[in-house]
Structure 1
Amino acid sequence: MREHLVTIIIPVYNAEKRLEHAIQSVLKQSYKNIELVLVNDGSTDNSLYICHKYAKLDSRIKVISQNNSGVSSARNRGLKESAGEFVMFLDSDDTIDSETISELLPHLYNDESDIAIFGMSFDYYKGDNFKYNRELSFKKNLSISSNEIKKHFFQMYDANYLSSACNKLFNSRIIKENKITFEENMAILEDFKFVLDFMENTKKITVTSNVYYHYYNDISYGKLGRRPDIDYMRNFKILDYKLRQFAEKIDLKDEYSCGKINGMIFRYYITAIEKSFIEDKKYKYKYEQLKQIMLDNDLNYAIKKANPSNIKLKILRYLFKAKSTKTLSFIFWINSIRKNKGV
């Protein structure tokens, strides 16, 4: 049996603390016909040195450097430079199990699937000390055609099988033929859009309940607030349009599905508003900003059609429909205070 080349792409930016763990997890794969593409995205620490150190030790490693342009740009550069028939993405502080490729690859060439999706373990550390983990995985194994995706879409979404690009093995032919790239105008949820773009062009997908990917979280730093470089509303609008387009493509048009899709979108817009209230600006400015957001047509369409999944969102939806700007502003303000205090 011919061994298929698998490319693993790691975008690298100031990752010296955990980068070696990520690289070693790739080099320890029991499946050996791999290509590791390390894309140094303008690191200012020792990351590039670490990349070159490992490239000297293993000829399967390719190191690329570019000016700092963001994770989407780095991944896109990795895709351009990749030679593999199949491709995976790994973040520079995460790891994969040694049997990941060996066990996933047969699904793509034996089952003729275009993508294999698997579970993730969210591993929480305090410094170098492992504390606990939380696994998210699908309850059963599936091999389904593109026409059947709609039957499992929401369960896959809830199990984190759609929103990350890292818990997947992709057929690179689909990516190249359809010119699929990461949206460089997005700085959050760009993975989700990439996955939806890919799945629009699939004929068959495999879903496995096995957990192979380990997502690193350092709880020493507590919860992160708003990233000032991100326009959350603009990012979520891009995803809004993509989600609606994808739902149309896979025929998620019934009333229940419409309510669920708009509920997801509504939650994203709420997140954008919450992030805006974490900004270090006066309450009056935040209040006026909320008044403007409440006029947004896309948000109001989501509010009208949404069937929220929890009581908090149901209450917020009611207040938005009632145009209760003062009450909403007070709720978001109190919530931002609690988050800034780490409550």
Structure 2
Amino acid sequence: MITIIVPIFNSENFLEKCLESILAQTYKDLEIILVNDGSNDRSKDICNAYAKIDSRIKLIHKNNEGVSAARNDALKVAKGEYVGFVDSDDWIDPKMYENLYKLIRSTDSDISVCGYKTRLNSSINGKIDYFTIEDNKEKINILIKNNQVGGYLWNKLFSMDIIKKNGMSLFDENIYFCEDLLYTSQLFMESKSVSVTTASYYNYITHGNNSTSYTYSKSKLTALLALQQIIDKFQDSINGGLELYKDLFMHINISLLMNGMKQKKLDKKTTLYLKKNLFRYNLLDLKSYKIKLSCLICRINLRLHYIIWNNFYGK
């Protein structure tokens, strides 16, 4: 059985399409856990209505605590041998879980992965390829290097055994950005193998630009904590090779500094923290020339970097 976990918060405009796509799966042995995370729109009513028409649906209604807490609550009661996650404003193709299940079983992997489609990328690949990854350095880096794999939860099927075996059944509820990447990277590194299909079965909907690169908020500082956990946990075991994660850490750190300065939202403690992070890694540990240069200028003269950044990106 596959458990599909859907955290829901104020998704009334998208939820029915999402649920219809799950119920239309050609793989029928499903447990569908809907976690209504304190929605104040019609999401609760929609969940209740669908639970009446399909016995595979299980409901959790709770006060709003965030997506990580919602996923944790679902994992605690999940009974499937495999677990998938679907965001409530997206939808999936009918054969997604059938094909991910066949892939994970045929390759004896712990995780299977498919591609995804957006409005800018609307078709499934003409030629579908499959590959399996066993090398740890490749497993950790493909999450950043290959955007179609990514550090997302929603385009993957996880063995429940590996989740339970490694004691990672719970998401860190204090991480609000890159929490998916943190969780997924741990499971990837603990897996014996990961199998990937280039076929795009997941339909991802974007709602404006919520990137860490474009706005500042204190909650986005937790992305740095997530990345630092990944780097600290795995850099010794794979003898370095985490330059992409260090690049991402420094990119987010500099972006938060620049946007925080522009929006005048930085307090003294946060400013000192972000400035200190500029020296966390040797410039030789960074892969991107552009990020190396930005980091160097910030170290020498933060105000100069802000003027340059504001002229090119801050408008």
- Written as runs of structure 1 = structure 2, the 5 A alignment for 1:248-327 is 248-249=236-237, 251-253=238-240, 257-277=241-261, 279=263, 281=265, 292-293=272-273, 295-296=275-276, 298-302=277-281, 304-309=283-288, 311=290, 313-321=291-299, 323-327=300-304
- Whether 1:182 aligns to 2:171 is yes
Shift of 1:136: 10
Shift of 1:112: 1.3
Q: Percent identity?
A: 29
- Written as runs of structure 1 = structure 2, the 5 A alignment for 1:15-26 is 15-26=11-22
Match of 1:149 among 136, 141, 147: 136
The answer on whether the counterparts of 1:11 and 1:75 sit within 8 Å (CA) in structure 2 is yes
- Written as runs of structure 1 = structure 2, the 5 A alignment for 1:220-239 is 226=215, 228=217, 230-239=218-227
Structure 2 residue matching 1:51: 3-state secondary structure: helix
Shift of 1:183: 1.2
Q: How many angstroms apart in 1 are the aligned matches of 2:297 and 2:253? A: 14
Equivalent pairs, count? 310
Q: Which residue of 2 aligns with 1:341?
A: none
Shift of 1:188: 0.8
Q: Kindly provide the amino acid, as one letter, of the partner of residue 263 in structure 1.
A: D
Q: Kindly provide the amino acid, as one letter, of the partner of residue 327 in structure 1.
A: L
**TM-score with structure 1 setting the length:** 0.81
Q: How many angstroms apart in 2 are the aligned matches of 1:261 and 1:226? A: 20
Q: Kindly provide the amino acid, as one letter, of the partner of residue 329 in structure 1.
A: Y
Shift of 1:245: 1.5
Structure 2 unaligned spans of 5+: none
Q: How many angstroms apart in 1 are the aligned matches of 2:124 and 2:295? A: 28
- Whether 1:133 aligns to 2:133 is no
The C-alpha deviation readout for 1:292-342, integer Å capped at 9, x for no partner, is 24542x44123534434353x243122034x2122123345556742xxxx
**TM-score with structure 2 setting the length:** 0.87
- Whether 1:108 aligns to 2:95 is no
Match of 2:190 among 182, 201, 210: 201
Structure 2 residue matching 1:157: 3-state secondary structure: helix
The C-alpha deviation readout for 1:74-100, integer Å capped at 9, x for no partner, is 011111121110010000100111001
Q: How many angstroms apart in 2 are the aligned matches of 1:258 and 1:168? A: 22
Q: CA RMSD in A?
A: 2.8
Q: How many angstroms apart in 2 are the aligned matches of 1:15 and 1:6? A: 23
Shift of 1:261: 3.7
Shift of 1:178: 2.1
Q: How many angstroms apart in 1 are the aligned matches of 2:231 and 2:175? A: 15
Q: Kindly provide the amino acid, as one letter, of the partner of residue 161 in structure 2.
A: R
Alpha carbons of 1:93 and 1:258: their partners in 2 closer, same or farther (altered >3 Å)? closer
Shift of 1:190: 0.2
Q: Kindly provide the amino acid, as one letter, of the partner of residue 154 in structure 1.
A: N
The answer on whether the counterparts of 1:196 and 1:246 sit within 8 Å (CA) in structure 2 is no
Q: How many angstroms apart in 1 are the aligned matches of 2:271 and 2:47? A: 48
Match of 2:146 among 151, 159, 165: 159
Q: Which residue of 1 aligns with 2:32?
A: 36
